[in-house]
Chain A
Amino acid sequence: AQKVTQAQTEISVVEKEDVTLDCVYETRDTTYYLFWYKQPPSGELVFLIRRNSFDEQNEISGRYSWNFQKSTSSFNFTITASQVVDSAVYFCALVPIKAAGNKLTFGGGTRVLVKP
C-alpha cells in the first residue's frame, strides 16, 4: 500500500513571498509516478506536474519548481514570488507504474493562502 503525507495543512503568506509545500511518500514499489494537483476555489483539480521515479532532475516551470529526492522520499513544490491567484489547495499524489487502473493515492492537501 502507498501513503502520501503532506504535513502542512495550511500556509499563509504575503504576496511575493516564496512558499514551499512538503510531500513525503511511502511505497514498496521501485517505480512510480508522482503528481501535484492544484484545487482552486472552483473545486476542479488542475494537473500541475508528473514525475517518474527514474528521473530525479529538478524541474522549473515559470514560478513553480519541484524538488524530487528519492533518498528522502520527498517531492516538494515551491512557488516563487507568490500571487493571490496561487491561493488554492495543493495535493501531492502517487501511483506505482505497475499498478493496474491508474489509481492515485493522494496526500491530505495543503491550503495556501496568499494575502495581498
Chain B
Amino acid sequence: GESVGLHLPTLSVQEGDNSIINCAYSNSASDYFIWYKQESGKGPQFIIDIRSNMDKRQGQRVTVLLNKTVKHLSLQIAATQPGDSAVYFCAETMEYGNKLVFGAGTILRVKS
C-alpha cells in the first residue's frame, strides 16, 4: 500500500486557545483537499474541504489554508475546546476516482 508516514506529531493546547495543524501534501496534481477528525473508536469525520482554486475557506470555528506553491495545507481551530481532542488527518485527491491519500495525522490534545 502507499506509505503515508509512521510518525504522529502531537499538538497540546490550552482550552480557549487557537490551534493550527499543518500538513504537507504529496502530489502537485491534487486539486481537492479535505480535513478529517478521528476520535478514538470512530471513523474519520469530515471537517472542511477546499478546492485548489481557493487559498482559504472558513467554516464554523475552523479555517483551512492552502499554499500550492509549497504544497502545504493548514487547519486553524478557533477557541479550541476539550471536544476537539482527536487525531486530525489531511487528505488529498484529484479527478478520476474517489481515492483519498491521507497524511500521517496529528494528535490534538486540549488541556482544561
Q: Do A and B bind each other?
A: no
List chain A positions with a Cβ less than 8 A from chain B. Answer: none
List chain B positions with a Cβ less than 8 A from chain A. Answer: none
